[in-house]
Every structure is written in structure tokens, then in C-alpha cells.
Structure 1
Amino acid sequence: MMASQSTMDKLHDMRLSVMARAYRDQEELPAASGLSFDERLAMIVDAEWDSRRTNKRLRHLRQAGFPEQDANIADVRYDDDRKLDRAQMAELSNCSWIASRRNIIVTGASGAGKTWISNALGVAACNAFYTVRYTRLPELLDELTVFKDEEWLKQRKKYIKCDLLIIDDWLLEQVKPNEAREIMEVIEARDRTGSLILCSQFPPSAWHANLGNGAIADAVIDRVVYKSYTIHIAGEESMRKRMRGME
């Protein structure tokens, strides 16, 4: 069984390089000569399929912009004082909540590990082939409270079109009226298109004032909270101190 150079060239021209390599590699498999045409074709197609899925997952991870790229749900610390629910974390790691367009609210003191847990859930989403974007609320507002040109529209789509948007440092202080309107527009759009993870030092009961009270605050909170899971990280000791204790 000899790989046809003409077929190899055509596969490369169609950017099916992994399939071409698998086709060529079958020459070096003694058992391949005993396989049927369908079996050999399946092996070649599987190689291309697996490669593309791996590349897609890595592309999602790269585009997400995680500050904690190595975060993994399997590495969550369940110290007694943190009061994290192991069963809840395991359930959320399967990402079915994204398929249902539900949200997650992660609360806790500064240094509790909110960003890390949100990134671990985001990595799990990328591994399940969902598109994810991570940002901090101040950065999102800096991008969206500017002159509304084509670049503004491009940035807005980035936050709306992804399957999961993670917003860190959520409502740590009162926002301006124009910022509250941009927040409402993003939340309103995402209510129809995807899921959110919001990381905040404050519970939802404290968000109303920081959104300026009124109708905009009502609209944002209603769209986020009613279909959200809540993860509260308790404990007085920061994750940095906990990790130093392991050195």
C-alpha cells in the first residue's frame, strides 16, 4: 500500500495536513494492509478530527484572556473555613448551565480566590468547546463608554457574542449613569445569547446602589440574579497566604 503523492498534495492544498500525514503513516503500519477501506479511511478522518478539536480548544483558551490560565476545577481548595460546596462545583464543571444560559455569581472578600475559581470554570467551558471572554468591569467600561465608532461596535460584539462572559471586579464602586446604561445593554443582550460569571466582593443586595438605583439597576439585577447560581467563598485568610503555607 503506497500513499499517492498526488492525493497527498491535494490534501495539503485543502489544508488537511493532519489527514495527509495519517494517510502517509499508514504505509508504516504493517496491520494497515489487513484493514478494509472503510477502516483505513476512519483512522485518517479521526486523526484530522482530533487535531481540529484540540486546536479549537487551544484557540478558545488563548482568546479567553484568562489571567489564571492554569486554573482547574480539580484543584479547588475545600478548606473548611471557605465553605465551598464540592458537589456544586462538580456539577458546575460539566457546563450544562451554559447550555441553559444560566449565570454564576462568585462573591467573597478580596484575595478569597474569586478570579481563580471563575477562570477554572472558564477553562472547563473552553474544554467543552464554548467560547469565553474574561474582563474586569473597569476595563469593559473603558472600552464601551467611548465614541461609538466601528471599533466600539467590534468590542461590544466581543462581549456579547461569546458563550460565556466573565466579568471580574463587578460593581466595587458606584458607576456613572452612562456606565450603568452600557452595563444594562451588555446584560440585556447576553440575557438572550449566553451566560455570565460575575465576581464581586459584594452580594447582589448591595449592587442596586452602585448602579445608581432606579430602573436601570432593577433591570440589570433582575436579568442576572433570578437565573444564577451563587458561590460564596468564606474565610478570613487570603489565597496568597494559604498558598504560602504550602511552600
Structure 2
Amino acid sequence: MLKQPALEKLEAMRLHGMAHALREQAGSEQALDLSFEERLALLVDRQLTWRQNEALQARLRRAKLKANACVEEIDYRAARGLDKSLVRALIQESAWVAQHENIFVCGPTGVGKSYLACALAHKACRDGYSVFYTRAAALFRDLALARADGSLRSLLLRLGKIDVLVVDDWAMSPLVESKRLSIPSIPKLLSMIQWAHA
């Protein structure tokens, strides 16, 4: 018989995965055939899996990725010039993130650049990295507002803590001269972020 106080204590300690697994074990006759150590190992495994799933969901919410893109659904049959071996190399534990490498996805409109970028970012999230997706216009607006209200360093520090920053629609329309002077180039944006950490 399952003790309700034990379940309540597990929930109070935020061991929700373990509590759920314990309820399942209480209703399973097969669990009775397992030793105490085996049942405990199953409870611990379930709790670890629950925590990892919760952390992944939190990273994905914070990432605000545009599309429900994932690397497993990339279509290599379309004539987009995708190098399958290169993409496979990039998705191997998202090593490019750990090595602080940048990826620029270039091509004509409609070939799936945003989807590919979001798919790589989604894989990075699954591998435990923090990700943030934004459109260039929104990023430049936020930078201009932060510069105006004096919070630029704070914004750059927040951006610098992100492992993968996906900036979409970088050069979608020509810039007027006044905006061109206030919008940083990619190397300048990266150096600004590094400056904020110095």
C-alpha cells in the first residue's frame, strides 16, 4: 500500500518524476518482483529524466525559436545546395557551439535558411546550450533603445551569456543612412558583446 505522506513529501521536494514513478510502481505487479535497489534505481532514473525534460522545455521557451524545426526533419532532397556531411558534422553534439564557432546561413529567399538555423539551434538546446532567436530588426531596435536609456551594457551582458544567438533576416531591406550608422555589423556586434564582458 502506498503511503500518501511519502508522496506528498516527494512533491514538496519537487521530486515530481520520482513521485509519478512511485505511483506507477504501486499499481504494477511487475514492480513487486524487483528488489529494493532495482525499484530505487528506476525511481532515480525517472527523476533524472523528468529534470532533463523540464530543463529542455525551459531552454526551448527562452529560445523563442521561430519554427518547430529539428535537424531530423531537414529535407536534403530539395535543390538548396545543402551539404549533408557538413550538416551532420554540425549536429554531432553541437560541437560548433562548444568551440565558439559562428554559422552564417546564406542563400536566396525561400530556401529554408531560417528553418535550418532554427533546427541547428533546437539541436543545441537539446544538447544543453542556451539559445535565443531574434529578428535583426528587433535586435537593432533593442540595441538602440538600450543605448538611449543607458542599459546597453546590461543588454550586451545578457546577449553574451547566450550560447547560440540566432539573428534572422539580417539584410532583408536596404538601410537608410541614419539607420546604417546605428546598426552594427556582425563583427562589431560580437566585439560589443565581448566588450560588455571585459
Q: What's the TM-score once normalised by structure 2's chain length?
A: 0.81
State the AA in 2 paired with 1:23: L
Q: Which has the higher strand share?
A: 1
Alpha-carbon displacement from aligned partner over 1:44-85 (angstroms, at most 9, x marks no partner): 11111111211222222222112212x222332334742211
Q: 1:77 aligns with which of 68, 75, 78?
A: 75
- Alpha-carbon offset, residue 190 of structure 1: 5.5
Report whether the alignment pairs 1:159 with 2:163.
no
Q: 2:182 aligns with which of 155, 178, 184?
A: 178
C-alpha separation in 2, matches of 1:132 and 1:96: 14
Q: Name the SS for the 1:167 alignment partner.
A: strand
Contact 1:160–1:189 (8 Å) recurs in 2: no
Q: Name the SS for the 1:106 alignment partner.
A: coil
The answer for the alignment partner of 1:220 in structure 2 is none
Moved more, 23-32 or 92-101: 23-32
The answer for the alignment partner of 2:88 in structure 1 is 90
C-alpha separation in 2, matches of 1:24 and 1:79: 47
The answer for the alignment partner of 1:99 in structure 2 is 98
Q: Name the SS for the 1:31 alignment partner.
A: helix
Report whether the alignment pairs 1:187 with 2:187.
no
Paired-residue identity, %: 31
C-alpha separation in 1, matches of 2:186 and 2:108: 26
The answer for the alignment partner of 1:243 in structure 2 is none
- Alpha-carbon offset, residue 108 of structure 1: 0.8
Contact 2:160–2:194 (8 Å) recurs in 1: no
CA RMSD of the aligned region, Å? 2.6
Contact 1:145–1:182 (8 Å) recurs in 2: no
Alpha-carbon displacement from aligned partner over 1:70-110 (angstroms, at most 9, x marks no partner): x2223323347422111111111221111111111111112
Q: Number of aligned pairs?
A: 188
State the AA in 1 paired with 2:75: R
C-alpha separation in 1, matches of 2:51 and 2:190: 32
The answer for the alignment partner of 1:27 in structure 2 is 26
- Alpha-carbon offset, residue 178 of structure 1: 3.4
Shift in alpha-carbon separation, 1:17–1:79, aligned structure 2, 3 A: closer
Contact 2:21–2:46 (8 Å) recurs in 1: yes
C-alpha separation in 1, matches of 2:106 and 2:186: 22
Contact 1:141–1:182 (8 Å) recurs in 2: no
Q: Which runs of 5+ in 2 are unaligned?
A: none
Q: Name the SS for the 1:110 alignment partner.
A: coil
Contact 1:101–1:191 (8 Å) recurs in 2: no
C-alpha separation in 2, matches of 1:112 and 1:82: 6
State the AA in 1 paired with 2:21: A
Q: Name the SS for the 1:135 alignment partner.
A: strand
